[in-house]
Structure 1
Amino acid sequence: MELRQRALQVLCITDPEEKSAAALDMYARAAQFSIDASAAPQPPVGVELPGHPEKPELRHHTAVGRRSPATIEGRAVLMHAIAHIEFNAINLALDAIWRFPGMPDSFYLDWLRVAGEEARHFRLLRDHLRTMGHDYGDFPAHQGLWTMCQKTSGDVVARMALVPRTLEARGLDATPLIQKKLRQIGTPDAVAAVAILDIILEEEIGHVAIGNHWYRWLCQRKEIEPHAHFIALTAQYEAPRPKPPLNMAARLLAGFTEEELLWLNP
């Protein structure tokens, strides 16, 4: 089967369990796919992208309430929010595979790796939610990540700049702060969550690094100065600036330059 066409098929799947299983299966069988970089796959008529379940209820990000992680219910809400981010991240990776033609095979295989690892993260978090008496879909969520995906659908340079390098990179900053709070709480579910977030943080550094690599590769191909163009894209698409404190060590590992970090964290 051709990889980009299959990525589109999996993107259309609405059931979270089925979608994550299909993404993991794609990743496991990566060597068996052909890749047609010149193809222009088309979504089925009338199908909304991405495929998503009836629940969770999707709200504007300002309408999604927060609760204290000091309570079991509050920790479930927190884990649900992170699970939703990981579910969206599966969709983001699959979208990058099918949507953008004319890229090297390694581009599509890199994003296949991301899709597979995000699917594993989602399943770890969903299984953890179930041990807490909840499941994915029990709480409202927002589509902030996918909104930027839609805004950058016509420009692969903007997509690489503003999804992995901007929105997903915020997870590198937020995760250690969340882990600190959970360690202070110290309950068995909180300790288990910290261990899951350790796995996610390590692999998310690699995902942001993939975004950095392909952003710079595209800039070089188009003879664009990467840092100045990133600043321009941030303004053009009204992308959010990261909230301090930044995880400088993780961002350096993910390939951000000192110049970029100074601009992000003046």
Structure 2
Amino acid sequence: MATLCELAMGVLTTADGREKAAKSHAAAKMWFASIEAGQPLEIGEAKPPLRPARPAQPELLSPRDMPKRKPGSPKGRSALLHAIAHIELNAIDLHWDIIPRFAHVPLPRGFYDDWVKAADEESKHFNLLCDRLEAMGSHYGALPAHEGLWQAAIDTANDFMGRLAIVPMVLEARGLDVTPAMIDLFKSVGDEETVSTLEIIYAEEVGHVAYGSKWFHFMCGRENIDPKENFHALVDKYFTSKLRPPFNDEKRAEAGLPLDFYWPIAVT
């Protein structure tokens, strides 16, 4: 029987996006089926690649080289969905990467339950966005994408609490800030299918941020560290950009991110 780390490696070493999502779904199903059967899989150990396998397309560009598009046009809206699909593909790998990369950290089974569930949902999000792109006459890989999205994983490859702070509590939390405006954009042009897709993503991303906050606080409690001060220090160390408003204070609070975690270090 495969270990959870081996299942994670199967996802991380798969290049094609749809196939990666399918392997992610299958791995999550196997994990939860083993628990239901009363024989949970072993966590195991593995050495994940520094970068996960990626398809030949999209072409990956630096942020400064990314083309500018107006989201109000059909091509601009398609480009926006393409960018979100790329984020979700990275999110699949980010959620699986943390399992083998930090398998040496003693954690309750609930941690793995949360992360596998989140990875499964990110796979659903990627497929939903690919479906919308194809319905619009495009596909994932049709446009260039941002090459810097995996940098946070590389920067925090040796720091478990740094990974929790930066990926779910900063990067995924940003999604809570920007998604409502995207939903309004697609509502304004009557694209109810895309609105429905984005609303699913929005609702489930709250849970993903909450998982990060939950286990970050767990680790701070284990090491008797002040969570707020530690979060500020880790953001200063690893987050190369700046936290900038507007913030979705309501959804951030729902996800376990108090105002005093991010407003004091925001650049206004």
TM-score by length of 2: 0.91
- Residue type matched to 1:81 in 2? A
- Residue type matched to 1:221 in 2? R
Tell me which moved more, 72-81 or 231-240: 231-240
- Distance (Å, rounded) in 1 between the aligned partners of 2:238 and 2:247: 22
- Corresponding position: 1:97 with 2:99: yes
Given the superposition, is the C-alpha separation of residues 35 and 221 from structure 1 closer, same or farther in structure 2, using an over 3 Å criterion?
Answer: farther
- Distance (Å, rounded) in 2 between the aligned partners of 1:161 and 1:70: 33
Structure 1 residue 146, shift from structure 2 partner: 1.0
- Corresponding position: 1:231 with 2:232: yes
Q: Is the 8 A contact 1:234 1:240 kept in 2?
A: no
Question: Identity across aligned pairs (percent)?
Answer: 38
- Distance (Å, rounded) in 1 between the aligned partners of 2:149 and 2:216: 18
* Mapping 1:1-266, distance limit 5 Å: 1-33=2-34, 34-37=40-43, 39-43=44-48, 49-101=51-103, 102-184=106-188, 186-187=189-190, 190-263=191-264
- Distance (Å, rounded) in 2 between the aligned partners of 1:4 and 1:95: 9
Structure 1 residue 240, shift from structure 2 partner: 3.0
- Distance (Å, rounded) in 2 between the aligned partners of 1:169 and 1:115: 16
User: How many pairs were matched up?
Assistant: 259
Q: Is the 8 A contact 1:12 1:48 kept in 2?
A: no
Which consecutive residues of structure 2, in runs of 5 or more, have no partner in the other structure? 35-39
- Distance (Å, rounded) in 2 between the aligned partners of 1:35 and 1:229: 33
User: What is the alpha-carbon root mean square deviation over aligned residues?
Assistant: 1.7
- Distance (Å, rounded) in 2 between the aligned partners of 1:260 and 1:15: 37
Partner-residue secondary structure (3-state), 2:60: coil
Structure 1 residue 183, shift from structure 2 partner: 2.2
Please give the per-residue CA displacement for 1:133-166, whole angstroms capped at 9, x wherever unaligned. Answer: 0000000001333100111010100000011000
Please give the per-residue CA displacement for 1:170-203, whole angstroms capped at 9, x wherever unaligned. Answer: 000010111222222x24xx33212111000000
- Distance (Å, rounded) in 2 between the aligned partners of 1:23 and 1:227: 33
Given the superposition, is the C-alpha separation of residues 222 and 239 from structure 1 closer, same or farther in structure 2, using an over 3 Å criterion?
Answer: farther
Q: Is the 8 A contact 2:249 2:259 kept in 1?
A: no
